[in-house]
Amino acid sequence: MKKRTAIIVLVLMLAIIAGLGYVDYGIIRDTVNTPGQGESIKLGLDLAGGVSITYQAVGDTDPSAQDMADTIYKLQQRVTGYSTEAQVYQEGSKRINIEIPGVSDANKILEELGKPGSLYFIKQTGSDGTPNYEYNGITYALTKDLDQLKADGSIVCDGTNVISAEPATRTDTTTRQYVVNLTFDDTGTAAFGNATTEAYTNGETIGIYYDDYFVSVPRVNEPITGGQCEISGQESYEEAERLASTIRIGGLNVELEELSSSVVGAQLGSQAIKTSFLAAGIGIILIIIFMISIYWVPGLASAFGLIIYTEIVIGLIKAFDVTLTLPGIAGIILSIGMAVDANVIIFARIREEIAKSVSVSTAMKTGYSKALSAIIDGNVTTLIAAAILGIRGTGTVQGFAVTLALGIVVSMFTALVITRLIMNGFYGVGLKAEKYYGRAKERKVIDIVKRKWLFVGISAVLVLSAPVLMLVNNSTIGHPLNFSLEFLGGTSTTVDIGEDMTLDRLESEVKPLVAEITKDNAINISNVEGSKVNIRTRELTLDEREALTAAIQSKYGVETEDIEMENISATISNEMQADAIWASVIALICMLLYIWVRFRDVRFGAASVIALLHDACVIVACYALTKISVGGTFIAAILTIIGYSINATIVIFDRIRENLNVMGKASIEDVVNTSVTQTLSRSVFTSLTTFVTVLMLYILGVANIRDFALPLMVGVICGTYSSIFLAGNIWYLLRKVKGKKKA
């Protein structure tokens, strides 16, 4: 690259950094200070607070696609009144998810939204002349059951015949009236026309009945034959809006039952956002210092590349409206640590080429060429893990998968394109001396094969520790792992009482308070963090949840936003357990097949999978030992470490594949030992940078983030160990076994 061109490239890169930095600064500022406003990133419920509900259609058969579409449409109309950011979307063939962020009284919304049921328009008098409903001095009540009314022909039509129900304001010459405008379909129009004609003649009413009570009993002032009518008499626009909303929700074609619900406060999110951005910033600075001190000019180029990488990821999250969750933040910070991996592989190759006494320019070209296959294979296998998480996971796990996959793709681009351009720019402006790039030192070959049984023994102990710890837990806490609601089902309530609670006070004060409402002593109460207390019970009804919330507020004077509540049925928890198992199995099979195809030797794939199973067992042992809650992010942690570990293993296997051709008649032991030694610095440096970023997340993050970061740190260490000391030895043993069979 000529000097003038090099200067232009460097100036252009600085301009890109400045431009993206200016844009990202506004995004980060708004996200931290005014989440949900301005140019802030879209936040998940665990950051923004709000309510999440999963409904399932009642019955053994799946509803039609049209019925589900109509139900979603009507629910979307209903929830938009609570928040313009509310979302309603279908999951599978018969489930509907509702997310309403930023609400302050989510339990009230759960009550108002209710379980969608059937809405009926009922004649005042039956065919036998007796009343179908009467006023009891307080409200209207049925005098006959619904089956009798249906058999009698007293039900005019139901909610499915209502096309729309909208509140409106009508101003007469002297007064303002608040009304609800209804529009019926053809069937409803005909039936309503006949019924209103009869009611008008007899001076009667037509009651609107929903969910076991009358929501309105309007008198008929004239026959309504055109398919449109107006219900007047509401005292305020809000009352008209509630009536219209109830009629809309009562018109759902599909009967739904609640499977799970979650009420989340927003304080945790605000703190998590600030500390996570701080953790990312500190992690980036530490990585930049490390890379420059180790690799000099290439390290400086990678520093600029890492800054651009981070800016691009933040910009893409905003541009594609990706919903950011707590695990999603962890995915970004983890990918920052992994982003330098490709650079480390390339720089190590460049130093090796310089050690062969070739020019720096040639070494740079050759280094990129030789590193390409390891970079692609390693990142593709990690993307496989992210893809499985995206497909099999739900909610926050999918958010983690999206940000992790996004980070991997962008890191490949910045390493192979951006960093290379910057490094060529530095070379072009005159930084051409070998001393600026470094020369690979002759290292003494580490004989790991000689100690293969020692490493196999250590790994066996680590693997066996998982079932042993799980058996111990099963006898002490009743479960092999500290399963969350996502795996057990039930109701979890987390409340910030405002003062530290001792175990005695929890048992003497809080537990009786909860037992009085649940009528059940099977209650698990624990301190979470500071003044926060977690209460786990059987699955509570909505009335019981409201009663528990009111009791806590009354006794401890807490605000509604200080209470978080999650309710998950056994159906959902069983499915989550199955999804966790299948996600792991599918990921391992996909990785095995990919490595088999790429390396054309199933022994590479088999050795990789054995090493990955080893890493997964160590992660499980970590969860069992620390008793960290095992929930949706559990499988995310395992698959992330699997993806990270396979990346490191592939780098070593790529070098073994290369050395099998380069080293001629050298023994298999020498090939394995030499390959591990040649990639040792890469394995250590990449693990160190990744560990540092996750460590910052653990030190500065909130409790939920720390529970996710700790297993990741253990996994990084374990994955590094298995890649260096286990994977190559397993491949060696598999090759020797096949060799003996041939002999």
Residue 523 to residue 688: CA distance in whole angstroms: 42
CATH number of 119-251: 3.30.1360
Q: What are the backbone angles phi and psi of residue 156, rounded to the nearest 5°?
A: -70, -55
**Three-state SS sequence of 645-668:** HHHHHHHHHHHHHHHHHHCCCCCH
pLDDT band at 255 (very low <50, low <70, confident <90, very high): confident
Q: What is the model's pLDDT at position 157? A: 93
Is residue 70 a contact partner of residue 253, using CB atoms and an 8 Å limit? yes
Mean pLDDT of 146-150: 91
CA distances 559 to 513, 525, 644, Å, are 18, 20, 42
Q: In terms of residues, how long is the chain?
A: 743
Q: What is the model's pLDDT at position 267? A: 57
Mean pLDDT of 691-695: 90
Q: Per-residue pLDDT for 741 more than 50? A: no
Mean pLDDT of 131-143: 92
Which part of the chain is CATH 3.30.1360? 119-251
Q: What is the model's pLDDT at position 743? A: 38
Q: What is the model's pLDDT at position 472? A: 95
Residue 403 to residue 398: CA distance in whole angstroms: 9
Q: What is the model's pLDDT at position 222? A: 93
pLDDT band at 498 (very low <50, low <70, confident <90, very high): confident
> Mean pLDDT highest for which of 242-256, 566-580, 581-595, 642-656?
642-656
- Report how many helices (DSSP H) and strands (DSSP E) the chain contains, helices first: 25, 17
Neighbours of 479 (CB within 10 A): 14
Q: What is the model's pLDDT at position 131? A: 95
Token pair 């099977």 is found at 522
pLDDT band at 6 (very low <50, low <70, confident <90, very high): very high
Q: Are strands 119-123 and 155-158 parallel, antiparallel or unpaired?
A: antiparallel
- Cα 128 from chain centroid (whole Å): 59
Mean pLDDT, all residues of the chain = 87
The pLDDT tens digits for 214-237 are 999 999 999 999 999 999 989 999
Would you call 221 helix, strand, or coil by DSSP?
A: coil
pLDDT band at 180 (very low <50, low <70, confident <90, very high): very high
CA distances 10 to 98, 295, 304, 310, 418, Å, are 48, 19, 10, 18, 11
* The CATH homologous superfamily of the domain defined by 490-568: Ribosomal protein S10 (3.30.70.600)
pLDDT band at 571 (very low <50, low <70, confident <90, very high): low
What DSSP string describes 142-206? ESS-HHHHHHHT-EEEEGGGEEEEEEEEEE-SS-EEEEEEEEE-HHHHHHHHHHHHHHHHHT-BE
Residue 658 to residue 666: CA distance in whole angstroms: 13
* Strand positions, DSSP E, 241-282: 256-264
CA distances 621 to 172, 560, 578, 614, 691, Å, are 74, 38, 20, 11, 19
Residue 508 to residue 521: CA distance in whole angstroms: 13
pTM attached to this predicted model: 0.75
Q: Per-residue pLDDT for 462 more than 70? A: yes
Between 248 and 407, name the one with better pLDDT: 407
Q: What is the model's pLDDT at position 171? A: 83
Is residue 695 a contact partner of residue 713, using CB atoms and an 8 Å limit? yes
Q: What is the model's pLDDT at position 172? A: 76
56-70, 263-277, 495-509: segment of lowest average pLDDT = 263-277
The pLDDT tens digits for 307-324 are 999 999 999 999 988 888
Is residue 537 a contact partner of residue 514, using CB atoms and an 8 Å limit? yes
Residue 116 to residue 330: CA distance in whole angstroms: 37
140-144, 147-151, 306-310, 334-338: segment of lowest average pLDDT = 334-338
* Residue 136, burial from CB neighbour count under 10 angstroms (0-12, 13-18, 19+): exposed
For residue 575, the one-letter residue type is E
Segment (H or E) for 209: strand 206-210
Would you call 428 helix, strand, or coil by DSSP?
A: helix
Q: What residues pair up with 258 in beta bridges, in sequence order?
A: 55
Is residue 224 a contact partner of residue 81, using CB atoms and an 8 Å limit? no
Which part of the chain is CATH 3.30.70.600? 490-568
Residue 262 to residue 325: CA distance in whole angstroms: 15
Between 539 and 410, name the one with better pLDDT: 410
Mean pLDDT of 433-461: 94
The pLDDT tens digits for 78-122 are 787 777 778 888 888 888 888 888 776 666 777 666 555 578 999
